[in-house]
Amino acid sequence: MSSMFALSGGFTWLGSVVSEYLHFPHGQEVRFAHSVLVMVVILIVAVLARMSLKGVPEGRDGLIPEANLRPRNLLELYTESMYNMVRGLLSKEDSQRFFPLIAGIFLYIFVSNIMGVIPGFSPPTDHVNTNLGMALLVFLTYNYYGIKRQGIGGYIKHMMGPVLALAPLLLLIEIIGHIVRPLSLSIRLYGNMSGDHLVLDIFMNRLPEFVSAIMGWGIPVIFLGLGIFVSLIQAYVFSLLSLVYIALAVDVPDDHH
């Protein structure tokens, strides 16, 4: 029986359809199709939540949550949680500036990761190129605003540390660290999601029939739950590290004022 879980190069429903109409190099049509699907899912949920606000009585301003669990409630909970995380590391002004970026990255990664536990679909985050694109966006953002906030001289001075004798060494270490950050973000997410989906594929499709019969669906369901948990954690880790990098860049030292 062919694997229903789509690892790199494996069968996917969207990949089999899109490859007939778009002539991408092997494997890229899968990533492209599922990236588009993730954005469509997010837009649909956002539109449904937006439409639910139209039924709010005048004067309530949507402050009172709905009685039933709906897209609006989920997005309000998500928005509040993400903003509190951003506000914990940044000032109010910076929180308003960088919240859309951090919240958007988290939502895209989480929906992409969840797609990986659905049979016949492939998570865009299962490819290094997708993750590297997000990591480079974060890299360019925090360096741009760091230089804008402190000036090129102040930004470099900030990386040199307070001890003049160690300044060249610290500057070299900081430069290497900044270069490694996008690679670290990309490879960490890729490795964890690839490993998670490989485990799911093994337990759902590749075990011998007699072993599957003995275990039934109990253990596969456990690993499905673990896959969902890992999807959430990896989205949180990527977003939190991105937020930390931004906070370190825009946090102007007191002696710079």
DSSP assignments along 134-179, one per residue: HHHHHHHHHHHHHHHHHHHHHHHHHHH-S-GGGHHHHHHHHHHHHH
Residue 177 to residues 21, 171, 221, 245, Cα–Cα distance (Å):
42, 10, 40, 11
Q: pLDDT confidence of 257, banded at 50, 70, 90? A: very low
- The answer to whether 12 touches 121, Cβ cutoff 8 Å, is yes
* pLDDT confidence of residue 10: 52
Residue 112 to residues 41, 116, 143, 170, 213, Cα–Cα distance (Å):
10, 7, 27, 37, 31
* pLDDT confidence of residue 5: 44
49-58, 97-106, 241-250: least confident range: 49-58
Longest Cα–Cα distance in the chain: 70
Backbone φ and ψ for 29, nearest 5 degrees, come out as -65, -30
- The answer to whether 182 touches 139, Cβ cutoff 8 Å, is yes
**Please, which residues have CB within 8 angstroms of residue 7's CB and are 6 or more apart in sequence?**
122, 126, 194, 197, 198, 201
- The answer to whether 145 touches 219, Cβ cutoff 8 Å, is no
Global confidence as pTM: 0.80
In percent, the amount of the chain with pLDDT more than 70 equals 69
Q: Which amino acid is at 97?
A: R
* pLDDT confidence of residue 237: 94
Choice between 55 and 216, residue whose per-residue pLDDT is larger: 55
Choice between 109 and 66, residue whose per-residue pLDDT is larger: 109
- Token readout for 118 is 């659905």
* pLDDT confidence of residue 7: 46
In percent, the amount of the chain with pLDDT more than 90 equals 30
Q: How many C-beta atoms surround the C-beta of residue 41 within 10 A?
A: 15
